[in-house]
Amino acid sequence: MFFWQILLNSLVIGTQVLLLAVPLYLVYSVSKIYHLGLGATAAATAYALYFGLTNDWPLGLSIGLAVIVALAVAGISYWLLEPFARQKNSLYGLLTSFALGLGLEALLAIMFGTDGKFLIRQVLPTFQWGDLYITQPGAWTIIVGVALTVLAVALVQKTPWGRTLRSVAENSFVASSLRINSSLVRLVVLMGASLLAGFVGIMTSLNTALTPQIGFNLVLMAFVALLVGGVSSLKGTVMAAYIVSLVPELLVGLSSGFWDMSANWKMLLVFIIATILLIWRPNGLLTKAQRAVD
Amino acid sequence: MPRLMAKKYYGQEIQKVTDYYLSEINQRAAALGKKFEVIYEDGKCTGNDSVSAFHKLVDVDGIKFILGGSCSSETLGIAPLTKDSNKVLVISALSSNPVINGLSPFTYSFSYSDDTSGKIIAKQMSAYKKVAIISEQNDFNIGIKKVWEDALKQYPGAQVVANEIFPKGASDFRVILEKVKKAQPEAIFLNPNPGVTAQNLIKQLAEIKDWTNYKLYSHYSYLAEDTLKVAPTVVEGMIIIDAPKLTDPGFLSLKQQIEATKGTVADLGDYYTASTMDVMNVVTSLITELGENPQAVRDALATRTFQGYIGSIHFGNNNFPDIAAAVYKVINGKPELQP
């Protein structure tokens, strides 16, 4: 029973990482930019909801404000990153996205303070099965997270919209010659990615507490998952998101005696696992090695 | 012209107290033609950031008196920088890590030392055979953890069955709580920083509904009633070790005025609200008397006895004042002083 409880708790964290890894993958696909600012987007969206709720706005209006903030951050991200996407300048894109994230976090700290906030102050309601339990926000994170991920995979691989996205990912110049508006595709993807990030920001805050840095560790893990999973494979990213988050959680949770590991080991374990996987499968977990072109 | 270095964690509450009390100090100082000014720098409760803030204050602004750090990590970071110099005096209102004692002749703290509270918690928990501790990774919590572990060695009947540490500012404790639950301790020492981390820890402890056969122990982090309200059933009966309750009506009225005008200082609590004002009072009085001379102010601080809101303040050969600890028990959601 102990193992299953640890697994259940770890699954919530794994799904949080997954929900940031998927948008990170989508943005990278169409722009070749690692949009690390998505972590701060998650935090900004959650703070918007917090602002509405603490000012006694109705829940619907508070959620509306959160959606507006997520889309506004998407708009700012598009404005900042689009020139680098067009120039295929991934490094400057990454740096700009990272700076945007730091700036947003600093702005949130100035506006709301650095001390944590609760979206729900009371003890969280739980679902109970015998000795096993899970918080309701945790359960919804898993259910909605898995559903959204399946939807994203289906959209990308099985629909005309997915083909459009993949054509832009493959070669945006050729896509343009087929009258596909690559910039519009990137804008739409950024908006979807910000909404997904916002969702995970809110669910993580509900399950724990809200701080300006809440998205930072998650986006770092999601970034590792994207690299380990293979930047061109959504299924690989999904698998890697669970591997890099579940394995350290399980190792820490199940360790004991001489091998006992504290929670401080988690990030070290993440990078050890990532290193092993990257050495074993340098192109990604599910990506076939490509023949080198002379 | 003393300037304060503080901010994050309790820094925002310290700022409320300082802003309010500075006007009182300046009203008295105006009669002597003086005016004190406070400038804030954020040490972010880390050694690195506090050293940067220290250099900015001392090397750029030419500051001679620093009221800080606002947590042990900050004070431990900057204390070595004052050791071989008589140009800067550092006085903290909150730092309690016992390592501060003897670290530098120019670094003092008006807090009680965790040496006292850690030992009392260990003694209280020695009544149990299986005990556990959950600590946050920062200098305050690791300092008191070490004292607790050393003190517990004197009681061979008490065995530490779980000793968990989580990263500073972490917010998801469910996995480590399950580990501690599996070890079946009879008593648990909760050792996080005050504020949301402390609240989150008991909140997540309360989620585990089939685990109730343990006794909780802690320190200052769980003294605020706001924190206890988060999970009232779990904290009922918790034993908290902290400084003696402050009953000075003058102080209690002043604290009420601060909270009415500046907002809550619940996480700072009575003792540290009082010690923040006492540090300001003592330092500005000594500067008024002795001039902006860190050596002279330091010598007076080390040898004289002062009366403050926290009681009689005397350092002797130590860097902490001689403040006793008291035992509180949470009854009906409130920490009640025990005889």
CATH number at residue B182: 3.40.50.2300
Task: Say whether pTM exceeds 0.95.
Answer: no
pLDDT bucket at A289, cuts 50 / 70 / 90: low
Average pLDDT over residues A285-290: 70
The token pair at B255 is: 């604290």
Of B111, B48, B61, nearest in space to B88 by CA: B61
Shortest distance between the Cα of A12 and any Cα of chain B, in A, equals 10
Contact residues on chain A for B230, CB-CB shorter than 8 A: 121-123
In a domain, A47, yes or no: yes
Predicted confidence (pLDDT) per residue in B74-98, tens digit: 999 999 999 877 889 999 998 888 8
In a domain, B331, yes or no: no
Contact residues on chain A for B163, CB-CB shorter than 8 A: 260
Chain A residue with minimum CA distance to B205: A123
What gap in Å lies between CA B283 and CA B302, rounded to an integer?
12
- Please tell me the predicted confidence (pLDDT) of residue A141: 95
Task: Clarify whether residues B127 and B83 are in a common domain.
Answer: no
| Interface contact flag, B166 A262, Cβ < 8 Å | yes
The shortest CB-CB distance from B175 to any of A131, A207, A249 is to: A249
Residue B184, amino acid: Q
From chain A residues 240-269, the ones with a CB under 8 A of any chain B CB are 249, 252-253, 256, 260, 262-264, 266-267
In a domain, A248, yes or no: no
Of B176, B181, B177, B239, nearest in space to B213 by CA: B181
Q: Using DSSP, state whether B144 is helix, strand or coil.
A: helix
Shortest distance between the Cα of A42 and any Cα of chain B, in A, equals 16
Secondary element (H or E) of residue A133 = strand A132-135
| Interface contact flag, B137 A209, Cβ < 8 Å | no
Asked whether B180 and B132 are in contact (CB, 8 A), the reply is yes
In a domain, B333, yes or no: no
Q: Using DSSP, state whether A69 is helix, strand or coil.
A: helix
DSSP code of residue B205: H
Please state which of the ranges A218-222, B21-25, B43-47 shows the lowest mean pLDDT.
Answer: B43-47
The shortest CB-CB distance from B207 to any of A116, A124, A262 is to: A124
Task: Clarify whether residues B78 and B99 are in a common domain.
Answer: yes
Predicted confidence (pLDDT) per residue in A252-263, tens digit: 988 888 788 888
Best A134, A208, A217 member to test B by mutation, with max B CBs in 10 Å, is: A208
The percent of residues in chain A predicted with pLDDT above 90, rounded, is 62
Average pLDDT over residues A78-106: 93
| Interface contact flag, A264 B166, Cβ < 8 Å | yes
In a domain, B160, yes or no: yes
In the A/B pair of chains, how many CB contacts fall below 8 A?
A: 87
- Please tell me the predicted confidence (pLDDT) of residue A153: 85
Contact residues on chain A for B174, CB-CB shorter than 8 A: 9
The token pair at A116 is: 């944590």
What gap in Å lies between CA B217 and CA B233, rounded to an integer?
15
Q: Which residues does B contribute to its contact with A (CB < 8 Å)?
A: 8-9, 12, 137, 163-167, 169-176, 178-179, 182, 195-197, 199-200, 203, 206-210, 230-231, 267
Beta-bridge partners for B66? B3, B90
What ipTM goes with this model?
A: 0.86
* Total number of domains constituting chain A: 1
The shortest CB-CB distance from B171 to any of A10, A209, A252 is to: A209
Asked whether B149 and B160 are in contact (CB, 8 A), the reply is yes
The token pair at B135 is: 């600590």
Chain B residue with minimum CA distance to A115: B9
CB-based contacts of A151: which residues, under 8 Å, 6+ apart?
A: none
Task: Clarify whether residues B186 and B230 are in a common domain.
Answer: yes
pLDDT bucket at B299, cuts 50 / 70 / 90: very high
The token pair at B193 is: 């920083």
Task: Clarify whether residues B193 and B294 are in a common domain.
Answer: no
Asked whether A57 and A63 are in contact (CB, 8 A), the reply is no
Predicted confidence (pLDDT) per residue in B45-60, tens digit: 888 899 999 999 998 8
* Length of chain A, in residues: 294
Predicted confidence (pLDDT) per residue in B142-200, tens digit: 999 999 999 999 999 999 999 999 998 889 999 999 999 999 999 999 999 988 999 99
What gap in Å lies between CA A215 and CA A40, rounded to an integer?
6
| Interface contact flag, B196 A253, Cβ < 8 Å | no
In a domain, B324, yes or no: no
pLDDT bucket at A294, cuts 50 / 70 / 90: very low
φ/ψ of residue A81, rounded to 5: -95, -25
In a domain, B189, yes or no: yes
In a domain, A221, yes or no: no
Residue A191, amino acid: M
Shortest distance between the Cα of A181 and any Cα of chain B, in A, equals 42
Task: Clarify whether residues B16 and B100 are in a common domain.
Answer: yes
Report strand pairing: B239-242 vs B326-331. antiparallel
Predicted confidence (pLDDT) per residue in A97-139, tens digit: 999 999 999 999 989 987 789 999 889 999 998 889 999 999 9
Whether chain B has a CB inside 8 Å of the CB on A116: the answer is yes
In a domain, A257, yes or no: no
Task: Clarify whether residues B231 and B273 are in a common domain.
Answer: no
Please state which of the ranges A29-33, A168-172, B33-37, B52-56 shows the lowest mean pLDDT.
Answer: A168-172
Asked whether B90 and B82 are in contact (CB, 8 A), the reply is yes
DSSP code of residue B58: I
Contact residues on chain B for A253, CB-CB shorter than 8 A: 175-176, 178-179
Report strand pairing: B187-191 vs B130-136. parallel
Residue A233, amino acid: S
User: How far is the CA of A142 from the CAs of A20, A154, A242, A272, B190, in angstroms?
Assistant: 13, 18, 12, 26, 29
What gap in Å lies between CA B46 and CA A41, rounded to an integer?
26
Task: Clarify whether residues B188 and B209 are in a common domain.
Answer: yes
Asked whether B160 and B183 are in contact (CB, 8 A), the reply is no
What gap in Å lies between CA A140 and CA B224, rounded to an integer?
32
- Please tell me the predicted confidence (pLDDT) of residue B9: 54
In a domain, A235, yes or no: no
CB-based contacts of B325: which residues, under 8 Å, 6+ apart?
A: B112, B116, B117, B120, B241, B242, B243, B244
Shortest distance between the Cα of A89 and any Cα of chain B, in A, equals 33
- Cβ-count burial of B103 within 10 angstroms (0-12 exposed, 13-18 middle, 19+ buried)? middle
Q: Using DSSP, state whether B107 is helix, strand or coil.
A: strand
Task: Clarify whether residues B196 and B147 are in a common domain.
Answer: yes
In a domain, A266, yes or no: no
pLDDT bucket at B71, cuts 50 / 70 / 90: confident
Task: Clarify whether residues B120 and B105 are in a common domain.
Answer: no
Identify whether B69 is preceded by a cis peptide bond (ω within 30 of 0): yes
| Interface contact flag, B175 A116, Cβ < 8 Å | no
Secondary element (H or E) of residue A187 = helix A182-207
Domain of residue A205: give its range. 15-214
Domain of residue B211: give its range. 115-242
In a domain, B196, yes or no: yes
CB-based contacts of A137: which residues, under 8 Å, 6+ apart?
A: A120, A124, A203, A206, A207
In a domain, A97, yes or no: yes
Predicted confidence (pLDDT) per residue in A129-165, tens digit: 888 999 999 999 999 999 998 998 888 888 888 888 8
The token pair at B304 is: 């004289």
Task: Clarify whether residues B128 and B213 are in a common domain.
Answer: yes
pLDDT bucket at A290, cuts 50 / 70 / 90: low
Chain B residue with minimum CA distance to A117: B196
Shortest distance between the Cα of B116 and any Cα of chain A, in A, equals 27
CA A194 to centroid of chain Cα atoms: 9
In a domain, A19, yes or no: yes
Secondary element (H or E) of residue B190 = strand B187-191
Residue bearing tokens 């994050």: B8
What gap in Å lies between CA A195 and CA A211, rounded to an integer?
19
Average pLDDT over residues B214-219: 96
The torsion region of residue A149 among left (phi > 0), alpha (psi -120 to 50) and beta comes to alpha
CB-based contacts of B53: which residues, under 8 Å, 6+ apart?
A: B5, B41, B42, B43
CA A146 to centroid of chain Cα atoms: 13
Chain A residue with minimum CA distance to B168: A264
The percent of residues in chain B predicted with pLDDT above 90, rounded, is 63
Asked whether A138 and A207 are in contact (CB, 8 A), the reply is yes
Whether chain B has a CB inside 8 Å of the CB on A207: the answer is yes
Dihedral of CA atoms B99, B101, B107, B109 in degrees, nearest 10, equals 90
* Boundary-marking domain end, from B225, B242, B259: B242
The shortest CB-CB distance from A135 to any of B179, B197, B207 is to: B207
The shortest CB-CB distance from A131 to any of B167, B195, B210 is to: B210
Asked whether A9 and B174 are in contact (CB, 8 A), the reply is yes
CA A291 to centroid of chain Cα atoms: 31
In a domain, B104, yes or no: yes
In a domain, B131, yes or no: yes
| Interface contact flag, A9 B179, Cβ < 8 Å | no
| Interface contact flag, A263 B170, Cβ < 8 Å | yes
Task: Clarify whether residues B14 and B78 are in a common domain.
Answer: yes
* Total number of domains constituting chain B: 2
| Interface contact flag, B174 A9, Cβ < 8 Å | yes
Report strand pairing: A132-135 vs B239-242. unpaired
Task: Clarify whether residues B238 and B119 are in a common domain.
Answer: yes
Contact residues on chain A for B179, CB-CB shorter than 8 A: 253, 256
